[in-house]
Structure formats: C-alpha cells, structure tokens
Structure 1
Amino acid sequence: MIEAAVDFIRAPGLRRVSQLLADDVTRILRQAIGGRGRAFLAVPGGTTPREFLTLLGQRNLPWESIAVIPTDERDVPPDDPRSNEHMIRQCLPLTSGSLVPLRAVGASLEASATALSTQISAMGPLDVLVIGMGADAHIASLFPGDRRLDRAGRATSPVVLASRPADLEPRLSLGPAPLMAARWKALLISGQDKLAALNRAFVSNDPVTAPVRLLFEDGIPPRVYYTE
C-alpha cells in the first residue's frame, strides 16, 4: 500500500485536505523566496484543485515574486471556461506577467511546445509542483500509452509536450523532466477509485501504463494528499 511507503496525508473532506495542502505550499514558497528571492510554482486545473487554489490565493504571499505555470493546458482561448489558465487567474491574485501560459505560440502545437520548452528551461526547476491524477493514472496531459514516458523516450522529450489524446482536445503539457525534477511535489487526489489506481500504479512501476509513476522514480517523491 502506498500509504505505508510515502508521506501520505489523509483528511476528511476536500476543504480540509485543501487547507493542509495550502499550508504546506505556502511554507515551501516562502522558503524558496527567502532563499533566492523568487519561487516557481506549477498547479493543475480541474475540479478537485479549485478549492486548494482558492485557499492558496487567500494567503498573504508576495505574489509578485512567484511565477506560476499550469501543469497542462487545452488548446482553447485563455478566457474559455475549460482553460486551466482561466481558472488559475480566477483563484490566485497574480500580478502582471507572473503567469507563464502554456499557449500555442507557433504554427503548430508541436512548434509551440518547442518554443515554450526553451522559455521554461531558462527559468530553472520548479520549487513547488502540485498535480492531480485521473482515474486512469494520467497526470497533467501525460496519458497511458505514450512511449515518450519510458526511459528511452524521456531522454529526448522536451520540457513541454504536445499531447493529442483520443476524443479530447489537443493540449500542451509539462513533460516528464520538469515534473520529476521539482524540488517539492504534492499529489492531490480524491475518491477511492483514484486511490486504488494510485496503488496499482505504485506496484506496476511502469509510467507508460500509469504516468503517475513518473513522480516516484527519480528525485524526491511527492507528498500525497487524499480525501475520500
């Protein structure tokens, strides 16, 4: 069981687990800013993280010193309700230029991924990564079956990947390298189905079939925040 193998935080209800996560993220961001004068934060979209993002946005943080990036983004306009950027801007009191958007900037999604990879690489590793997981064990927009997630594929994968999952909008996603190299990681999940999926992924040790396994391979494993 993963609960015995990693730092596992279980709390009753989404609000309580989101409060605990916001407390820890606030502490780590302050430490990063105190040490280097800035911090780099990646956060997810979706319904489960909204409570956490809202609570984090209420914290007394020097947001002008924090660069924020979505873990992934659909190829939709930034004001579209499905846009992760749209939700992040609603929840966090971001200053001008503090959001690093994952938006199409070239002739194709792949060209955009290449350009964004150069930009984000120059910013250094993430200080804080908060990420969710789907019931199929996908993280960000890294889905099961993607050979870019095995060791050979990761060796040549850019920092940002173009993702074209079946029956879903094309999207851009942070790739394995920045997710795995984050200085501090948190995985936020809710529901027994996702906990079961996480346990299967932890045992399988195969990030191609269970992309969340990437977070437990190299570097510091994530702290898991869970509520039923």
Structure 2
Amino acid sequence: MVDVQIFSTKTELQTSTGKFIAKKAREAILDHGYFSIAFSGGSVASIAPAGLLELPDVLNLDFSKWKIYFCDERYVELSHSDSNYNAVNQNFISKVKGILKQNIYTINPNLSLEEARKDYEDKLKSSLDDGKSIDLLLIGMGPDGHICSLFPGHRLLDVSDCLVASIADSPKPPSCRITLTYAAVNSAKCALFIVAGSGKAVVAQKVLEENENNTIPAARVKLTSGTTHWFLDSDAASHLTQKK
C-alpha cells in the first residue's frame, strides 16, 4: 500500500514528518517495547530531526526505547563530514536526552569494508526481534531515483541473499559505502519517503505514476507488509498528474 501526501511548503513537510515519526514511535513502543528507526543522509538528516525537535511534546517521547540505525552509511570515520551518523548526531541525537549509546547502531570504519558490512548486518540481526524488520525507514531519494546506496543499474539492486551490502564503486562519492539491501528495506514495517525540491519532481512522477516495468531504485520499495508513505513538498510534487 502506498500513501502520498503533498505539503505546500518544506516547513509543512518538516512539521508533518516530525508528527508522523512521533506517532510511529509511540505505537511501536506500546506494541513491542521499543522503536527502531533508520535514517538516511542528505536532506532527510536535517528535515526529520528538525520536525521532531519542533514538537511541543518532544520531551515526552521515551527516547530510552529508541533504536537508531542508518539506511546507508559512507565508509568513513563517524566524525567525518561525509558520515550520515555525524549529520544525524549533530542535528538530533546530541540535542535530545535519553537515547542510549548502546541503542545507536553504526558501522565500524576500523574494520575492512567487507568486515564492516558483516558487522553491521550482525548488529541488525541481533538487535531486532525478528532479526530484520525495522519499524520505520526514513528514505531520501536522489534526482536519479537512488535510495540508500542503491543506484540505477548497479549490481546491488539484485542482491537478495543479505540484509546489508557493501559498495566500493558508488557513482556518487565517496565510493565506498555500506547499505541496506531490498531484503532489509522491504522487510520494514513502515517506510517514509521525504522528498523536497523541484530537482526531485521528474523522478517522483516517474516512480509514483509510471509503475509498469519501473526500474528506478525508489520504485522497487515494495514492503512485504505495511505501508509506504510519500511526503512531498509542492515543488517535488509539481510533475504529478494526480494530486493527492
């Protein structure tokens, strides 16, 4: 199931994103005692945290029961400016109280790329009740339709025998990365695309309205169960022919 919502401004998109995440967090904690969320980098790493921090009741969220993951990560030191963890930490983790250090699951850049891949997959499997189903993925999309570090035409699009893959030839720098595969993405309980800006408008229209034989990476997000939500600002939705 796919739900599409369009907001007139990026500010409204941000506010609605924060409210949506908080709602999912409360539901998950009530259901199974914790809330697992995976962040993407780029604009998602700023929009989602800003939306959460502006909530008037943000302090009432039980962050001690949050488990934080990353949809993909650049193979760099966690303090590096390219690190998705670093962006989320600066914009969110460091600004709230209660998130437990042991509940923040990052790559280990001191390992080899393949060892870091396996280590991250092991963390995923050991920290989730069923070993694979994250409560909420926050997904960004590039102008080429890539998600996580799954790029158009790349061999990783067809990887199905692992939850986490490594890539050493990313078409977008840095070249070495670690990413969730579709095996992990489509096992999530809920996915939220957060898409802003006119630069995403053409590909958003193709993903949402040209479903037949669609090979764009974002179009291959098809959750086994649960709903995929798209939150777009008016610029990103400007090429849609059917306004939701």
1:20 pairs with 2:25: no
Displacement after TM superposition at 1:133 (Å): 0.3
Aligned length: 218
Query: Match for residue 117 of structure 2?
Result: 113
Q: Equivalents in 2 of 1:149, 1:217: separation in Å?
A: 15
- Consecutive unaligned residues of structure 2, counting only runs of 5 or more, are 236-244
Q: CA deviation at 1:223?
A: 0.8
3-state secondary structure, aligned to 2:73? strand
Whether 2:51 is the aligned partner of 1:55: answer: yes
> Structure 1 residues 161, 103: closer, same or farther in 2, change over 3 A?
same
The one of 145, 168, 189 equivalent to 2:195 is 189
- Structure 1 spans left out of the alignment, 5+ residues: none
* Alpha-carbon shift at residue 69 of structure 1 (Å): 0.8
Task: Tell me whether 91-100 or 171-180 shows the greater mean CA deviation.
Answer: 91-100
Write out aligned runs for 1:197-208 (5 A).
Answer: 197-202=203-208, 203=210, 205=212
- Asked if the contact 1:105/1:115 (under 8 Å) is kept, the reply is no
**C-alpha RMSD of the superposition:** 2.1
Indicate whether 1:148 and 2:153 are aligned: no
- Structure 2: how far apart are the matches of 1:116 and 1:105? 12
1:191 to partner: Cα distance: 2.3
1:31-180 equivalent positions in 2, closer than 5 A: 31-57=27-53, 59-60=58-59, 61-90=61-90, 91-92=92-93, 93=96, 94-106=99-111, 108-124=112-128, 125-150=133-158, 153-154=159-160, 156=161, 158-164=162-168, 165-166=170-171, 168-169=173-174, 170-180=176-186
Contact map agreement 2:77 2:109 (CA 8 A) in 1: no
> TM-score with structure 2 length normalisation?
0.81
Matches within 5 A, 1:215-226: 215-216=221-222, 218-226=224-232
Corresponding letter in the other structure for 1:191: G
Quote the offset at 1:51 in angstroms: 2.6
**Identical amino acids, percent of aligned pairs:** 22
Deviations 1:104-126 (A, max 9, x none): 353x2122112221220222311
